[in-house]
Chains A and B, each alone.
Chain A
């Protein structure tokens, strides 16, 4: 039983770290701001979520009862990530950042290499 829990915790930690890394690779590699917005707001939030699930599992099986106050962090992040992404997208639209040819919508944004 102990081994199964440990394996589950290890699995969740690795899934969380992998998703966070994927989000950061997206932030570093994608060609313009509106594409870059996708990586952190979705993948990284899910990565933190996976990490917290692993932590809840780990500390709940220590024999000190259920440990749920980590979930507050996840709840807070899941509420705030879309809000900050929305604010940043509005700021980027207002500043008329350059976009690559493939980015659609609004039409009037200037094209160019935003790398």
Chain B
């Protein structure tokens, strides 16, 4: 059953990533692009977890955690830059 579910889940996640990429390219404003990048990294975390199940290894959880932390810091930094014109005042 997993042999069927994992490829379907891969296909759905890939479609989601393509839609996010389309929003990054399309814009139209800067917050839209930041939001799309934010969604892109969250979806890539889900894709990594799925890949870990597919390969039957637990190595990728640390990677997922690192991406979650760095992505959050990046999103907050860019949003702060848009809000104040500066990151650390």
Contact = CB atoms under 8 A, between A and B. Distances in A.
Interface string B1-25: 1101110110011011101101100
B20 A27 contact: yes
B61 A69 contact: yes
Interface residues of B, number: 47
A33 B1 contact: no
Given A47-B46, A73-B61, A84 B83 contact: no
- Count class of interface residues, chain A: 35 or more
Interface string A27-61: 11000010011011000110110011011001100
Interface of B is mostly: helix
Interface of B: 1-2, 4-6, 8-9, 12-13, 15-17, 19-20, 22-23, 28-32, 34-36, 38-39, 42-43, 45-46, 49-50, 52-53, 58, 61, 64-65, 68-69, 72, 75-76, 79-80, 82-83
